[in-house]
Structure 1
Amino acid sequence: MSRNWAGTYEYTAPRIVAASTVDEVRSAVAAAVASGGRVHALGTRHSFTDLPDTNGTLIDLAGLEGGLALDEEARTVTVAAGTRYGVLALWLEERGWALHNLGSLPHISVGGATATGTHGSGDGNGVLSTAVAAFRYVGADGEVHDVRRGDPDFAALVVGLGAFGIVVSLTLDLQPSFRVRQDIYRGLQWDALLDRFDEVTGAGYSVSVFTRWEDDEVGHVWVKTRLDTDDDPVPDDLAGSVRDQVVGEALTPVLDTNVTEQGGVPGPWLLRLPHFRLEAQPSYGDEIQTEYFVPREQGPEALRAVKALAASVQPYLLVTELRTAAADELWLSGAYQRDFLAIHFTWMRDAEGVGSVIPLIEAALEPFGARPHWGKFHGFRAAEMERVHPRLADARAVYERLDPDGCFTNAHLERVGVRAPRG
């Protein structure tokens, strides 16, 4: 029995094959194709749906790690797809380099996170996939293919959901290492957030707002400030909320031992940009997650729409996190051609209860063209995806051309319109 990291989804694939080298990936793909079966990549198991599942062979890439090669002149690093971001970040920091951003969990793999458009936060920061300069994948022919920024299919394939092959390595853009402090602001009121939305989301290099949709007070704001010097000042007030002067108090007691250091203590980028420490449990565990991306300029109106559902949402909710990211040109990115506000729900493990409230949230966000996170639980089908992803049909055509026999398709990809339906 194999489950996702939170224990809330059980994979149904009849075969799971571990691969720690590119040749092992090629062999596994060739064997699956030769038998007429389907095949799909499995990363660090941070999806909450059947997106990475298959009725054929799952290739577990958790052991496809390392392969690190730094090109200081090009300011890039090449890394095996199964490598976790936290491991890569430690390696880069030792050599004086950094990525532009990290997700809240450093436990996720580079291949899986970029393939699903996973993101960090910051008005000016692109999703993690925007750092991809090139990648290598094993196709249905069992051969290794290289794709680079500027190639005709690049924008369709970076956020590719495993729909065309098995990505085995990626080349990522770098910048010199930098330092960050993380401050918590308490007491933000809803009126202040909605009226001064841009001020709040733009208060730092990376900003997260945590809420449980209470009547008046929003909750906590986590502001991660990029520093020129360790003694750079930060304001004590943010839209009426007050900076916490106590070091180390986390959002909730259950998270107290696994979050990165707060209280304004300066530190390297890799120990401040994620919310959770690599050596600790990510998030709460035993949970369900949902996330939607709406245009950032419509953020206040979208928040009002969800807040009206507070009484329905709260019984199943652990916490909601609000983050932003900058627009990009990757066809299936949640930020394709629009800056976004991400509205993320971490739910209790109550599939029936969460399932009852998801349609309400999606209906409330429909006027804003909300796009769901590909790896989170949602209710979208092909028609809804076509409506919110303007290049979905174009991406599907690329995947069908590269994999005409449907070796890498699965029920989920067909359900959401990423691959053409098959019998």
Structure 2
Amino acid sequence: MRRGDPDFPGAVVSLGALGVIVELELDVEPAYDVAQTVHEGPAWDAVLAAFDRVTALGTSVSIFSRWTDRDRADQLWIKNRVGEPEPDRDLLARLGTSPATVPRHPILGAPAEACTPQLGEAGPWHERLPHFRLAFTPSAGEELQSEYLVPRRDAVRAIEAIRSLADRIAPLLLVNEIRTVAADELWLSSSYGEPAVGVHFTWRRDQPAVEALLPVIEQALPDSARPHWGKLATLDPAEIRRRTPRWGDFVALADRMDPAGRFRNAYLERLGL
């Protein structure tokens, strides 16, 4: 199966339902360098008022918060391809940020030696675009994760919904990351058909308490939010199918490629496959 085949967009994100991939050909591009900087304490009101501009400050932009403060996020991470325009300093000033003078961990206060180099030090893309060095445990290690992806048009509403729940979220949270995802045409992709914004949660390892809170979050988010396929969520499977425009096409593809259902499992059955 190759790009251009009618079923290709249905096979790239397939949840293991179509069989085992034994050979893969990748698109590549020339290597490039990236420099990353961290900016502390951006004001949420200013971020949300200029959300599209803020998330365009670099090649890759993340906003981290523990939601212990409703008014200010913890950090704004900007990863910029070397040779691209520098981040807009006037905009950063309006956000009320100050540049970090020492390396930071996304979880404020955690040791930063696990993180890829910061402070504007340029280096190969694969040593800057990830938040964590390959030789180290990423994030906290002992954690749970959830993520909901919303169309960019609904991003501010989604963040305001999370902001309204800050007091309930903060006790269970290690860190929340807001990040953007380009649009694609992959049937089960959470950014199918339009750009998306990911609202990611790294939780403390208290699964009963997290799973009790998730329905509250899911109810507060816009009804366009799609849960990440591989992270904790409690949204009803029928609602997940409703929010996945090409679900019916994917089921038909799975029926053709695996008519006996050998690659289906309890998770896929709960989803209705």
Aligned equivalents of 1:204, 1:233: Cα separation in 2: 8
Aligned partner of residue 319 in structure 1, secondary structure: strand
Question: What displacement does 1:171 show?
Answer: 1.3
Residue from 179, 183, 191 that aligns with 2:37 = 183
Superposition pairs for residues 274-423 of structure 1, below 5 Å?
Answer: 274-365=130-221, 367-417=222-272, 419=273
Higher-Rg member (1/2): 1
Deviation at 1:235, TM superposition (A): 4.4
Q: Structure 1 residue 368: deviation in Å?
A: 3.7
CA distance in 2, matches of 1:174, 1:243: 36
Give the superposition deviation at 1:250. Answer: 3.2
- How many percent of aligned residue pairs carry the same amino acid? 46
- The alpha-carbon deviation at position 243 of structure 1 amounts to 4.5
Structure 2 contact 35–128 (Cα < 8 Å) conserved? yes
Which residue does the alignment assign to 1:268?
A: 124
Q: For 1:9-33, what per-residue CA distance to the aligned partner results, in whole angstroms no more than 9, with x for missing partners?
A: xxxxxxxxxxxxxxxxxxxxxxxxx
Quick one: structure 1 residues 158 and 189, their matched pair in 2 at CA, closer, same or farther if it must change by over 3 Å?
same
| Structure with greater strand percent | 1
Say whether 1:162 aligns with 2:27: no
- Map 1:75-94 to 2 at 5 A: none
Counterparts of 1:120-159 in structure 2, within 5 Å, are: 147-159=1-13
Q: Distance in 2 between matches of 1:349 and 1:245?
A: 29
Q: Is the 8 A contact 2:64 2:76 kept in 1?
A: yes
Per the alignment, do residues 167 and 243 of structure 1 end up closer, same or farther by CA in structure 2, a change over 3 Å counting?
Answer: farther
4+ long deviations beyond 3 Å: 232-237
Gaps of 5+ in 2: none
Q: C-alpha separation between the residues in 2 aligned to 1:385 and 1:170? A: 29
CA distance change for structure 1 residues 328 and 234 in 2, over 3 Å: closer, same or farther? closer
Between stretches 404-413 and 207-216, larger displacement belongs to 207-216
Q: 2:113 aligns with which of 257, 261, 283?
A: 257
Q: Shift of the alpha carbon at 1:380?
A: 2.6
CA distance in 2, matches of 1:189, 1:339: 24
Query: Bigger shift: 252-261 or 182-191?
Result: 252-261
CA contact (8 A) 1:296 1:340 kept: yes
Q: Is the 8 A contact 1:205 1:223 kept in 2?
A: yes
Give TM-score, length-normalised by structure 1: 0.61
CA contact (8 A) 1:188 1:220 kept: yes
Q: 2:59 maps to what in 1?
A: 205
CA contact (8 A) 1:183 1:243 kept: no
User: Quick one: which amino acid aligns to residue 16 of structure 2?
Assistant: G
Structure 1: distance between partners of 2:215 and 2:103: 37
Cα offset, 1:284, TM superposition: 0.7
CA RMSD of aligned residues (A): 1.5
Which consecutive residues of structure 1, in runs of 5 or more, have no partner in the other structure? 1-146
Mapped partners of 1:173, 1:309: distance in 2: 41
Q: Distance in 1 between matches of 2:197 and 2:43?
A: 18
Query: Given the superposition, is the C-alpha separation of residues 180 and 241 from structure 1 closer, same or farther in structure 2, using an over 3 Å criterion?
Result: farther
Give the 5 Å matches for 1:16-27. Answer: none
Q: Which has the higher contact order (CA 8 A, sep 6+)?
A: 2
Q: How many residue pairs align between the two structures? A: 269
Give the deviation of 1:416 after TM superposition: 1.4
Deviates more, 1:394-403 or 1:251-260: 251-260
Q: Distance in 2 between matches of 1:271 and 1:235?
A: 24
The Cα offsets for residues 325-347 of structure 1, whole Å up to 9 and x where unpaired, read as: 11111000000001101000000
CA distance in 2, matches of 1:363, 1:249: 33
Q: Contact 2:104–2:111 (CA<8 Å) still a contact in 1?
A: no
Note if contact 2:40-2:100 (Cα within 8 Å) is conserved in structure 1: no
Cα 1:176–1:415 change in 2 (3 A) is: same
Distance 1:357 1:404 in 2: 38
Residue 169 of structure 1 deviates from its aligned partner by: 2.6
8 Å CA contact 2:43–2:97 kept in 1: the answer is no
CA displacement at 1:194 relative to structure 2: 1.1
